[in-house]
Amino acid sequence: MTDVTIRGIDDDVYANFTSEAKKRNLSIGELTTLVMRALVEEISTTNYRIGNLNSLQVSKKDLESLKGPVMFHNIKSLEFADDIDWDMFDARIMSIKNCAKVLIPKTLTRFQVLTKCAMVSEVKSS
């Protein structure tokens, strides 16, 4: 075990984190270790970056052809096909960043998609 001092943690985040540790009957250190381990496992999996495009249409077949989650970035118009459901989207889309327009099928809600978005101008059903 390593002793660590961490500075600059947001007060609200820390309060929620300590509350969660108490609910789970874990020490702060134990919960911190669990969270760190989960993050390391998540980022160590294969992931792909696709970006700097004017437009891109993505199908279920496209997502299944890769061995890990995809990060989309800097795409003016990103469109997801009707064959992509929430389970596929959640498992295979890591993030969508800096995209002007994201067109989604009726199988997805805007709120579901927005959980993966940052700096996206518009999310619309196609």
Range of the domain at 27: 11-44
Helix (H, G, I), strand (E, B) or coil at 110: helix
pLDDT at residue 1, rounded to an integer: 81
Q: 57 with 95, same domain? A: yes
Q: 88 with 55, same domain? A: yes
Question: What amino acid is encoded at 50 in this protein?
Answer: I
pLDDT at residue 25, rounded to an integer: 95
Residue 4 lies in a domain: no
Residue 93 lies in a domain: yes
pLDDT at residue 44, rounded to an integer: 66
Q: Which residues of 57-96 are buried (b: 16+ CB within 10 A; e: fewer)?
A: ebebebbeeeeebbebbebeebbbbeebeeebbeebbbeb
Reported for 9-13, long-range contacts at CB under 8 A and 24+ positions apart, including other chains, are: none
Q: What is the pLDDT of residues 10-68, one digit of tens each?
A: 999 999 999 999 999 999 999 999 999 888 876 666 779 999 999 999 999 999 999 88
Q: 76 with 101, same domain? A: yes
Q: 60 with 102, same domain? A: yes
Residue 74 lies in a domain: yes
Q: What is the pLDDT of residues 68-100, one digit of tens each?
A: 899 999 999 999 999 999 999 999 999 999 999
Residue 1 lies in a domain: no
CA-angle at 99, arms to 93 and 105, nearest 5°: 55
Q: 37 with 60, same domain? A: no
Domain count, the chain: 2
Q: 38 with 72, same domain? A: no
Residue 113 lies in a domain: yes
Q: 63 with 120, same domain? A: yes
Q: 36 with 87, same domain? A: no
Percentage of the chain with pLDDT > 70? 97
